Structure 1
C-alpha cells in the first residue's frame, strides 16, 4: 500500500503560473512564415565550367565536387533566402552520370538533381537550400563533363510582403503539339516561337508562374527551349533537350499578360512540345503555401511493367500528415525498355499525363510538385513493357496554414525508468512535463530512494510545446521524450545522450499532425512507436524504424485526445475517448495491424486509466460526465460488461490514475478533488472489484494542493520496488507522495 510521505523535488528552475498563450489567426504560410516565391526576370548563371563562371574553365572529372557561390552574386540576395529554384545541366558527358547539388558544409545527400545519358546535353530543375555561407556543392559521379547551374528564382526565409506562395491544381495537360491541345497541332520550327496560354486547370491569368513538367518527345537533334512571359522583352531557358530521345524536365515557368508565354525552340530541328501543369505561384502576399526545405529519399525499388506502387511522402522526414499543399519531388527511372512514369495523389483519378521518360538502358530524372493524397501517399504507375527501377526523392515541401496551439496549462508529469544496462542494478528514473510557458522540463533521478534530489531542467530552449509529453525507456538504456510542438502541432523527440546521462540530444521533428499530444510505447519487437489522433478523428502511428520512418494512418472516426496504451500479450491495447464521450478500444498487434474497435460506452471526458491483471485482463477507470469515477473489468473471454460501476460519490475535475500495489496486490485508484487534494480508493481484497470509500491519499502531513492530475508510478531501486505518485502545485513545484 502507499505510505503517505511527501517529498518536494529540488527544482533547478521553477516556473510560476503563466498567462495562457492565445493562438494567432491562421495565415497563409507564404506570408506568415516566409517561403514566398520570387522569380528572376533574367538569367542568373552562377556556374558554367565552359566559360569560367563560378569555377575555373574546364570539365569536371569523376567524383569531383565543385563548390560555387550562389547568394550575393549576379543580383541574387545575400541573405533572406530559404531555397533556390535551380536549372542544373551538363554538356556532352563522356559517360552516363548523375549530379548531386547540395548546401556547402552539409553531408552529401543520397538524392540526385540530374541523371545524364552519355553524350547527351540535358537539364532539370531542382529545389535546393543554400549553405550557411551562401555556397553550393555540385558532385559529378562519373566521366568528364562541363557543368551548368542557373538560378531562376528563390524562396524567402521571411515574409516578403510582395510575393505569394504555391497553390496546387489537379494535374492537367496545358499544351501538346502532337494532339493540338492548347495550341496548333504542328511542331515548333527550329529557331521559331510559339505563344500559348498556360491557364489550364484553374491557373489564374495573373499567377506569377506555374510548376510544370515539360517534355520534348522524339527529338532528332539536340537543342534548348526558352520561355518568355508575354509583355516582357526577355525570358530564360527552361530545358536543354537531347538528340534522338524523349527529353523531360521539371520547370517553373513565369507567366506574362493573361497567363501567356512565348516558347522559343533554340535547336536546329523542329520539335513537339508537351507542358503539364502541377501547381502555380500567386502574386498576392498572404496567399498560397510557403516553401520548406527538406532532402530525403523516400522510395527506391523495382516497379513491375504496367504496375503501380503507393509511396508515402506526407508524414515522412518531419513533414506533417495534414497541411501539405505539395511536395517537391524528383523522380529517377531506369529500365530495359522505354518507359514513362505517372504520379498523382492517392485517392484521386489518374491524370492523362506522364513524368520522367527514359530511354532503354539509361537513367533519367525529372521533377514535379505533387500534393499528397490519402494517408500522405502518391501513386506511381510504370507505363512500360519492362520492370523499371524508380527512385523518389524529396527536395522540399509547401506548408499550408498550420495551427498555433495554445500552451496547455497545468499538464501532468510523465515518468519512465530506464532499462538497466551491463553493470547496473537499476536504471535512472526520468520525469518530463511541459510547463505553463511551453518549456519541456526534464527531471533526472539517480538516487532512487531519495525523491528530494530530483533535478528538473528545461531542455527545449526557446521552442514552445504544449500538453503532457510522453516518455519511453529504450533498449539501449536511455529514455526518449516526445512532445507536441505548439507551432503546427507536429511531434518532436529527444533522448538521453547516454544511459544515466543528465544531458539530452537536440530535438528532432518527426512530423505528424496530431490534434493532441502523442502517446509512445516500446513494442515487444524493440521498436519505439508513437500514436496520435488528428483533427479529423483518425488514428496515426509512427514506428521509429526502417530507412524512412513515416506516419501511417490506422483509420478510425470520431476519436479524440491522447491514446492510453497498455502492453498486452499480442501487442498494445489502445483506449481513446470518442467525440460522443464514450471510450473505445482496439489492439495494435506486433505485425502492425489493428483490430476492430470495441466501444465501451459511457459518457464522460478526459483520458481513462488502465490496470493490467494477470491473464491480460484489463480494468478501465474513467471520469464520467458528472465527475464521478467509474470502472469496468474484462471477463476471462476478454469481453467488457455493458455497464460501468461508479466508485462512490467522489467528484474529480480531472483524470484518474490507477495501478496494482506491487506488495499487497490491491488495486488503487487516485484522483484530485476540486480543492486540489489527492484522494484514493483502495480495493477491499485482491481482485474483488469492490472499492472502499475515498480517503485522502496523503495523511501524514498537510498536502500541497495539486494543480495537475496525479501520475502513478512504480520504480525498481535495485533491491525492491517503490510505488509513488507525482503532481505539480499551482506554482509548478513537483510533489512526490511515496
Structure 2
C-alpha cells in the first residue's frame, strides 16, 4: 500500500488572470518532513532539464535527418538525436520533440519510442488524411542516441523539431528542475485589451514576474498554446523571443479550426525597452498570411534550483482507454468528469506529475477536455487541454499533476460523448533540497512547500511585426 507523502503543495502557486495580474492558489498545508527525510535528499543532475533550440532535426520533404520522400505504412524511421542541435551524444535519458505530419494520404498515427526497444502499443500523434498536425513528444533515447518513429496509415511526410532534453547521468552539471504552477491563462488575444487577433507574420513577446531571485533561475515555461479560429492556414512558432523566429513550428492550423499543442519553451531576457527588468520572456509567432487569436496557458516552469522535480522516463504505457474500460469504466458524457488513478507501475511515492499523451477519440460533438489533479478543494481549471471537433481523433501532450494522496487526476468532457486514451512516457519525482551547512530548517521548509513555483505578481506583452520578403 502506498505511503501518504509528507511533502505537499503549499500556498503560493500562481493563478493567472486575463489582466496578467496573478493571484495565489491555495493548497493544503500538512506536516513538514523529518530531518532524516531531508538528509536523505539526493543531489546531482539525473533527470534535470536542458532547453535547446528549437531546432529542426527531421524533415522528410527535404532529406534532413532521413532520406527524402514520404514515409510509408508500417515504416520505421530511426532518427539521430544525440550529438545534434545541442543535444549531447551521451548522457541523455530523453528528448522533447515537436513532431509534425504533413500531407498524409490516409488517416493514421505515429508512435515514437527509443530505438532498439520493442514497439509499444501506444500512439503519439493521430491524424486524418490531408491535414498538417503536430504534437509534443517526450521520448526516451535509445541505442546510439536515436529514437524510432513508426508510421501506420498510407504515406506522409514527417517533421521533428527538438526543444530540450533530460539528463540521464548524475555527474554532469545539473540542469533545471520542474516546478508546477496552477494551470491558468497568461495570454488571450480575444481580450479587448489586446486589440484583436495576432496579425499574420507578427509575434508577441510575453513576460512573467515570479520574484527577482527566482526569475534569474528560470530556463523554460511549460505551456499549452492554442490557435483559435484562424483566418487562413498557417502555423505558430514559440521560442525565447531573442532575434527573429526560428525555422520551426509549434502547431499547425487550418482556417477556422481551433488547435492546441503543448510546448516547453525556453525563456529569454525581457527586452530592456519594455521596462520589465529580469522577468523571463517567451514569444509566439504567427506564420500565417492572416490573423489568428492565440491563447497561452501556463502550468509549470523549469528553474535552476537545488530542489524540485526530476524526470524519469519509462517505457510508454497505456493507463486509460475508455473504449475498453481501462482506467475509467465508460466513455465520458457531456459535462462529465472521470477520475483516473495512476497505477503503481508508472509512479513512485515521490511522483507528483506524469508526462502523458491524451487522445480524444471521435467525440459526438465539438467539445473541450480539461485535465487537473484529483486534490480535495482544488477546483476544475478554466483552461482546456484538448479542443476536439466532432468525429475526429486528436492528441495533445500534457504534464499532468496527480493528487498527493490519491495519485489520481481528473478529466472533464464538456459536450457530447467521447472516448479518451492516456499514454504515459515518464514521471516527475520530487527531490528535496540538499542540506547546506546543516540548514535543516531551510530544506525542510522547501520540501514541505513541494515543487511549486513562487507566486507570480505581474506580467505584460508587446507585439512585433516581422518583415516579409
Q: TM-score, normalised by structure 1?
A: 0.48
**Partner-residue secondary structure (3-state), 1:133:** helix
> Aligned partners of 1:203 and 1:356: how far apart in 2?
34
Structure 1 residues 507-546: Cα deviation after superposition (integer angstroms, max 9, x where no partner) = xxxxxxxxxxxxxxxxxxxxxxxxxxxxxxxxxxxxxxxx
**Conservation of the 8 A alpha-carbon contact between 1:338 and 1:359:** yes
Higher RCO, Cα 8 Å, sep 6+: 2
- The structural deviation recorded for 1:262 is 2.4
Structure 1 residues 389-430: Cα deviation after superposition (integer angstroms, max 9, x where no partner) = 1011111111112799xxxxxxxxxxxxxxxxxxxxxxxxxx
- The structural deviation recorded for 1:308 is 0.9
**Conservation of the 8 A alpha-carbon contact between 1:47 and 1:148:** yes
> Aligned partners of 1:220 and 1:203: how far apart in 2?
41
**Structure 2 unpaired stretches of 5+:** 1-35, 270-278, 323-330, 435-469
Match for residue 149 of structure 1 among 147, 151, 160: 160
> Aligned partners of 1:188 and 1:354: how far apart in 2?
20
- In structure 2, the residue matched to 1:648 is none
- In structure 2, the residue matched to 1:399 is 429
Match for residue 135 of structure 1 among 115, 139, 146: 146
Match for residue 175 of structure 2 among 145, 156, 163: 163
Q: How does 1:216-295 map to 2 (within 5 A)?
A: 216-231=227-242, 235=246, 237-257=249-269, 258-284=279-305, 286-294=306-314, 295=316
Match for residue 339 of structure 1 among 367, 372, 379: 367
- In structure 2, the residue matched to 1:360 is 390
- In structure 2, the residue matched to 1:723 is none
**Structure 1 unpaired stretches of 5+:** 1-21, 405-738
> Aligned partners of 1:201 and 1:114: how far apart in 2?
37
**Partner-residue secondary structure (3-state), 1:267:** coil
C-alpha spacing 1:199/1:326, structure 2 compared with 1 (3 Å) = farther
**Partner-residue secondary structure (3-state), 1:145:** strand
Q: How does 1:442-481 map to 2 (within 5 A)?
A: none
- The structural deviation recorded for 1:278 is 1.2
Structure 1 residues 81-140: Cα deviation after superposition (integer angstroms, max 9, x where no partner) = 011011000112122221111111111112211122321112111110011221111111
C-alpha spacing 1:137/1:202, structure 2 compared with 1 (3 Å) = farther
> Aligned partners of 1:327 and 1:133: how far apart in 2?
26
> Aligned partners of 2:418 and 2:54: how far apart in 1?
36
The alignment status of 1:380 with 2:411, answered yes or no, reads: yes
C-alpha spacing 1:170/1:149, structure 2 compared with 1 (3 Å) = same
- The structural deviation recorded for 1:157 is 1.0
**Partner-residue secondary structure (3-state), 2:406:** helix
- The structural deviation recorded for 1:222 is 2.1
> Aligned partners of 1:331 and 1:371: how far apart in 2?
14
**Conservation of the 8 A alpha-carbon contact between 1:174 and 1:199:** no
> Aligned partners of 1:403 and 1:163: how far apart in 2?
14
- In structure 2, the residue matched to 1:328 is 355
> Aligned partners of 1:275 and 1:143: how far apart in 2?
34
Q: Which has the larger radius of gyration?
A: 1
C-alpha spacing 1:23/1:168, structure 2 compared with 1 (3 Å) = closer
- The structural deviation recorded for 1:292 is 0.3
> Aligned partners of 1:365 and 1:325: how far apart in 2?
22
Match for residue 25 of structure 1 among 39, 45, 54: 39
Match for residue 109 of structure 1 among 115, 120, 125: 120
- The structural deviation recorded for 1:280 is 0.7
The alignment status of 1:67 with 2:75, answered yes or no, reads: no
> Aligned partners of 2:184 and 2:85: how far apart in 1?
35
